[in-house]
Amino acid sequence: MTQPDARTLERVKLALRSQRIETPSWAYANSGTRFKVFPQEGVPRNPYEKVADAAVVHQLTGIAPTVALHIPWDRVDDYADLAAFARDHGVGLGAINANVFQDNDYKLGSVTNPDPGVRRKAIDHLLECVDIMDRTGSRDLKLWFSDGTNYPGQDDIRARQDRLAAALRETYDRLGDDQRLLLEYKLFEPAFYTTDVPDWGTAYAHCLELGPKAQVVIDTGHHAPGTNIEFIVAFLLRVGKLGAFDFNSRFYADDDLMVGAADPFQLFRIMYEIVRGDALAPEGGIAFMLDQCHNIEAKIPAIIRSVLNVQEATAKALLVDADALAAAQRSGDVLAANAVLMDAYNTDVRPLLAELRTDLGLDPDPMAAYARSGYFDTIRAERAGGQQAGWGA
């Protein structure tokens, strides 16, 4: 395996300077499984403290300048004040995530519920989220629906698609000129027989019908085992409909583990398609975000590690020798083509990333820098009282 030359390393570092990864407010809060939520010391008690923690991640990594909000978990009286607080801490407010899955009325679905009154309630919440976007300056409305059925015959499958389309249309028409609707899909859970947005094809079809401001979200944990996610990435990039990523990792189902923990090679393959499609920089229009629950590991260090995992996979993807790969592909040399990818993947990019951080005035080891900072000791003492925020709160 040949080592990258100095010119290649400089090109990679230049590309990495533009990388941006959004962190989610809920990842800083308490979370757990459906059996138990495990409280931790120093966990935020309100959206302001979540933003403060997100600012620390950005200060140490340099590539996490925004934090996503989840409504109603992050509802505040004055969103302009929250946005100003974020700016004062060196970050901004990102995507607004709607929640139409935790209310008792949504037992049989939200926007696809057979009860028109429940559908109206759900749509009104989506419109409320757009109002919040207007106040925070957020570009993206991210929608995930738990809607589905558990038993054959429970509801009319086609009618539910009609209801979904109507709700999406009303929400889409409320968007401002510079705002987007991002539609996420999920194979199963909590519905077990049918899910109303189960796959990328369903999401793509609805977004195509809606128009150019509707884009598909890929959550890396929302697929059947063995799904070739990088194919989905390549296809949606080709047709201009990939709007966002929710990064996490899974062994079995939607495990919401740290991105890159289960299959770092898959993460590399995904990021290669992003690089191949010239979609890494913010100008590419893709909102990259972590979407993870840190149930047993410390929150902030886990989020820092996750950001670094994505950065490392991206650096390796940028090292792929595009000319050599194209030549091998044209000649039909299967082994040579695969070797080009494997050479890049097997390269140790940690020295390169440490050098990049030093160039940017950052500590070359963000994990060690956090451990030395004393921030955890500070928040553990300051946040000893009050009600901790948690998943769903």
pLDDT digits (tens, 9 = 90+) for 65-101: 999 999 999 999 999 999 999 999 999 999 999 999 9
The whole-model pTM stands at 0.96
Q: Is the peptide bond before 351 cis (omega within 30 degrees of 0)?
A: no
Asked if residue 3 belongs to a domain, the reply is no
Q: Residue 73 contacts by C-beta under 8 Å, 6 or more apart in sequence?
A: 25, 26, 29, 99, 389, 392, 393
Share of the chain above pLDDT 90, in %: 93
Q: Which residue has the tokens 């085992």?
A: 225
pLDDT tens-digit readout, 93-147: 999 999 999 999 999 999 999 999 999 999 999 999 999 999 999 999 999 999 9
CA–CA distances in Å: residue 252 to residues 142, 221, 248: 25, 9, 13
Phi, psi of 345 (to 5 degrees): -65, -35
pLDDT tens per residue across span 265-317: 999 999 999 999 999 999 999 999 999 989 999 999 999 999 999 999 999 99
pLDDT at 393 over 70: no
Tokens of 100: 């139409």
Q: Which long-range contacts (CB under 8 A, 24 or more apart) does 8-11 make?
A: 8/319, 9/352, 11/318
User: Residue 110 and residue 101: Cα distance in Å, rounded?
Assistant: 7
Average pLDDT rounded to a whole number, residues 342-348? 97
Return the pLDDT at 117. Answer: 98
Q: Is residue 79 part of a domain?
A: yes
* DSSP class per residue in 178-200: T-EEEEE--SSSS-SSEESS-SH
What local confidence, expressed as pLDDT, does residue 389 receive? Answer: 81
pLDDT of residue 171: 98
Residue 140, domain CATH: 3.20.20.150
Between 3 and 194, name the one with better pLDDT.
194
Report whether 331 contacts 32 (CB < 8 A).
no
In a domain, 6, yes or no: no
Number of domains in the chain: 1
54 belongs to a structural domain: yes
Give yes or no for residue 59 having a pLDDT over 70: yes
pLDDT (tens digit per residue) in 13-35 = 999 999 999 999 999 999 887 78
pLDDT for the residue numbered 392: 59
User: Which structural domain, as residue segments, surrounds residue 170?
Assistant: 19-380
The CA distances from residue 87 to 48, 79, 95, 132, 137, in Å, are: 12, 12, 15, 17, 12
> Residue 221 falls within a domain, yes or no?
yes
Which carries the bigger pLDDT value, residue 55 or residue 36? 55
Confidence band, pLDDT 50/70/90 cuts, at residue 259: very high
Residue 108 maps to a domain: yes
Residue 7, in any domain of the structure: no
Residue 393 is assigned to a structural domain of this protein: no
Q: Token pair of 20, please?
A: 């941006």
* pLDDT band (50, 70, 90) for residue 6: confident
Q: Can you give the pLDDT at residue 5?
A: 86
